[in-house]
Amino acid sequence: MCSGKQSLCRLAACIQRQGVFTLPVTADYSIADLKEHLKGLYQKAGVRPALPIVFMMTESVILDEPPVGSCSGALISSRRDFLRW
């Protein structure tokens, strides 16, 4: 079930003809899973023809602080080494 904020975000994305990317909620979600999902997001948003995408992260995804710090650091600084193995 979506909250009002999520519904508004999805509506705005639809009006702008943009896709919505959310992270799956699982109990065993790891940094490696986060990196794989962000790799896919970067490929969709950055490879020509680039698709306009909204990255929506909800409170239910935040099960532990370290993945959130890694995710925000990668998104804010655009560090290329974040996705390297």
One pLDDT digit (tens) per residue for the chain, 85 residues: 567 888 999 999 999 999 998 887 677 777 788 888 888 888 888 777 878 888 887 776 665 555 556 666 666 665 555 555 4
Q: Could you tell me the CA-to-CA distances from 51 to 32, 39, 43, 55 in Å, in that order?
A: 24, 14, 9, 12
Domain encompassing residue 54: 4-83
Residues in the chain: 85
71 C-beta neighbours (distance < 10 Å), count: 21
Return the pLDDT at 36.
85
pTM (two decimals): 0.62
Domain count for the chain: 1
Are 23 and 61 within 8 A, CB to CB? yes
